[in-house]
Amino acid sequence: MDVTDIKDTARAVDAAAVMRLLPARPRLLALGEPTHGEDTLLDLRNDLFRQLVEQEGYRTITIESDCMMGLTVDDYVTSGTGTLDDVMDSGFSHGWGASAANRELVRWIRAFNEGRPASERLRFAGFDGPLEITGAASPRQALTALHDYLSARVGADLLPCTADTLDGLLGTDDRWTNPAAMTDPAQSVGQSAEAGKLRLLADDLVAVLDTQTPHLIAATSRDDWDRARLYGRTATGLLRYHYWMADTSPVRMSRLVGVRDQIMAHNLLAVAEQGPALVHAHNSHLQREKSSMRMGGTALEWWSAGALVSARLGEAYAFVATALGTIRHQGVDTPPPDTVEGLLYALPEDRCVIDAGRLATALGPTRPSHRVSPWFGYAPFDPAHLADSDGLVFVKDVSRS
Mean pLDDT of 267-284: 97
Beta bridge partners of 369: 339
Mean pLDDT of 361-386: 92
Do the strands 10-11 and 351-354 form a parallel or antiparallel pair, or are they unpaired?
antiparallel
Residue 296 has pLDDT above 80, yes or no: no
Residue 188 pLDDT level (bands cut at 50, 70, 90) = very high
The H or E element that residue 377 is part of is none
The H or E element that residue 278 is part of is strand 277-282
- DSSP-derived letter for residue 9 is T
Within 13 A of 110's CA, how many CA atoms are on the CB side?
A: 20
Task: Name the nearest CA neighbour of 10 among 345, 333, 369.
Answer: 345
Is the pTM for the entire model greater than 0.75?
Answer: yes
Residue 362 pLDDT level (bands cut at 50, 70, 90) = confident
DSSP-assigned letters across all residues of 120-137: GPPEEEEEE-SEETTEE-
More confident residue, 153 or 363: 153
Task: Name the nearest CA neighbour of 145 among 75, 234, 62.
Answer: 234
Distance CA 166, CA 228 (A): 17
pLDDT for the residue numbered 134: 85
What percent of the chain lies above the pLDDT cut of 90?
A: 91
Beta bridge partners of 292: 301
Segment 48-61, tens digit of pLDDT: 999 999 999 999 99
- DSSP-derived letter for residue 187 is G
Distance CA 114, CA 111 (A): 5
Beta bridge partners of 339: 369
Mean pLDDT of 72-82: 97
Distance CA 18, CA 21 (A): 5
Segment 152-177, tens digit of pLDDT: 999 999 999 999 999 999 999 999 99
pLDDT for the residue numbered 3: 52
Mean pLDDT of 370-377: 95
Mean pLDDT of 122-135: 94
Residue 190 pLDDT level (bands cut at 50, 70, 90) = very high
Neighbours of 266 (CB within 10 A): 23
Mean pLDDT of 198-209: 98
Helix (H, G, I), strand (E, B) or coil at 329: helix
Residue 2 has pLDDT above 60, yes or no: no
Q: Measured on CA atoms in the order 278, 284, 289, 290, is the torsion positive or negative?
A: negative
Within 13 A of 338's CA, how many CA atoms are on the CB side?
A: 5
Mean pLDDT of 221-225: 97
For the chain, give the mean pLDDT: 95
pLDDT for the residue numbered 133: 81
Segment 299-320, tens digit of pLDDT: 899 999 999 999 999 999 999 9
What percent of the chain lies above the pLDDT cut of 70?
A: 99
Identity of residue 258:
G
